[in-house]
Amino acid sequence: MQLTREKSSTSLSLRRDRWVWLHECTEIGRVKILIVGGGGREHALAWRLAHDTERHELLCAPGNAGTARCARNVAVSAEDIQALTRLAREEKPDLVVVGPEAPLCAGLADALRPHGIRVFGPTREGARLEGSKAFCKELLEAAGVPTARAARFGEPAAARQWVRDHGVPVVVKADGLAAGKGVTVCTTLEQAEQAIDDALVRRVFGPAGDTILLEEFLEGEEASVLALLDGERWALLPSAQDHKRVFDGDQGPNTGGMGAYSPAPVVTEEVRERVAREVFAPLVKELQRRGIEYRGVLYAGLMITADGPKVLEFNCRFGDPETQAILPRWQGPFAERLLECAEGRLRPEQLAWRPDACVCVVIAAGGYPGPYAKGSVIHGLDEAEKLDRVVVFHAGTALRDGQVVTAGGRVLGVTALGGDIPEAIRRAYEAVGKISFEGMHYRRDIGARALQRGRTL
């Protein structure tokens, strides 16, 4: 593929879906991009790529009702590595952007790159940072990255004894992928023993729970900081804060994420500099020492403690729903930065961000994160998106007889920009109020920690 480049001497204004984006930068020509996945993160990726000045040709496998508005959906599962490889060889995209962790951990990038296909996403070895919490902990310790103390167990009796010896609170983590639900914070011995037995005896996480980590409980406030990597260079993205628990006030079981906002006031400029210096710099150096060429996005889940930032986990992909709160703040071409990462030529100085705040409120199906129904007709989507600076990202949706229906646990991510976090919160919840479907529920306190800090961003 030959990429043509044109230097723009003036700002370009583009209006799509009632959003205006201003670019003053070098642009690549039109490219063909395959996005792997079908959730809210993938809709946000497709949506942002569609807002580049060049109208890229976008495909999404399998996509959802939202991606169908800005990309061509292809009925291929995000976890079917062979089918995705065939699709990529047939379609010959200039770039494959992998959204979820499962195909990365299964080696999708490894399968595609020998065919000369550019991939934004790490190899299987790099994806082990998320695919194995034990491996991640070992790598963090080798790199000298601040993190919680932990012990690894595959036998329940030994794990129970460790908790009795060390006491609570303690965090019980399934070693493998558990869709964001494999972490349990235990404040009593009984809770810890139940969490141990859930993983190692009742096997509620399947093979992902064959090994568990018992980890020191860290006091502080959680935040997320992501970075783009090209194998050698890296660049931080804006901070964000996720809301994992299903109910207001951080109550109830963990979910895949009930909302997010960016930036996170807890990540001050001093904290951000420490994250760069103490987390990403040594980790990237350790990856290079081990010969792991990481090209994609690396997500640090952090606890901001009294002693500074400590790593809770690493993810090998864009977060969900953090992506929905970060990408609306992106300025300049998006495809070009992703291509640079895939080709090992990232230019960190080219990244630019809106000063606005962004808030995403997830609307979930009744019963989520437990069993939930599918097929309910969703009303009010057009009315919500008519509001100023609002976009609704589809997560668990599908098209049926010309109507958008629910098709997953997390159904929508209602997202709004504002001059500060209070304004973005107001806009987002105004839009949420326009939407309805049977059994829907959502948290009403997304961004509350930022408000409590009394910060105007």
For 29-71, what is each residue's pLDDT tens digit?
Answer: 789 999 999 999 999 999 999 999 888 999 999 999 999 999 9
**DSSP type of residue 378:** P
Give the pTM: 0.90
The stretch 244-264 carries a mean pLDDT of: 94
243-247, 335-339, 452-456: range with lowest mean pLDDT:
452-456
Q: What is the pLDDT of residue 183?
A: 87
Q: What is the pLDDT of residue 16?
A: 35
Architecture of domain 31-120: 3-Layer(aba) Sandwich (3.40)
pLDDT band of 454, cuts 50, 70, 90? low
How far apart, in whole angstroms, are the C-alpha atoms of residue 243 and residue 312? 15
Check pLDDT > 60 for residue 10.
no
pLDDT in tens, 316-354: 999 999 999 999 999 999 999 999 999 999 999 999 999
228 neighbors 235 (Cβ within 8 angstroms): yes
Q: What is the pLDDT of residue 410?
A: 98
Strand 245-247 relative to strand 241-242, pairing:
unpaired
How far apart, in whole angstroms, are the C-alpha atoms of residue 372 and residue 350? 43
Q: What is the pLDDT of residue 150?
A: 92
CATH number of 155-210: 3.30.1490.20
Check pLDDT > 50 for residue 1.
no
Q: What is the pLDDT of residue 182?
A: 84
pLDDT in tens, 169-210: 999 999 988 776 788 899 999 999 999 999 999 998 999 899
Residue 441's DSSP bridge partners are 364
How far apart, in whole angstroms, are the C-alpha atoms of residue 169 and residue 191? 10
pLDDT band of 453, cuts 50, 70, 90? confident
Dihedral sign for Cα 368, 369, 370, 372, please.
Answer: positive
Check pLDDT > 90 for residue 4.
no
Q: What is the pLDDT of residue 28?
A: 64
Check pLDDT > 90 for residue 235.
yes
Supply the mean pLDDT for the chain: 91
Architecture of domain 221-452: 2-Layer Sandwich (3.30)
Q: What is the dihedral of CA 229, 303, 100, 407, to 10 degrees?
A: -150
Check pLDDT > 50 for residue 282.
yes
Domain positions in the chain? 31-120, 155-210, 221-452
Q: What is the pLDDT of residue 24?
A: 34
How far apart, in whole angstroms, are the C-alpha atoms of residue 409 and residue 440? 10
Same fold flag, 31-120 and 221-452: no
Q: What is the pLDDT of residue 27?
A: 55
pLDDT in tens, 352-392: 999 999 999 999 999 999 999 999 999 999 999 999 999 99
Residue 195's H or E segment, with its range, is helix 189-200
pLDDT band of 9, cuts 50, 70, 90? very low
pLDDT in tens, 129-167: 999 999 999 999 999 999 999 999 999 999 999 999 999
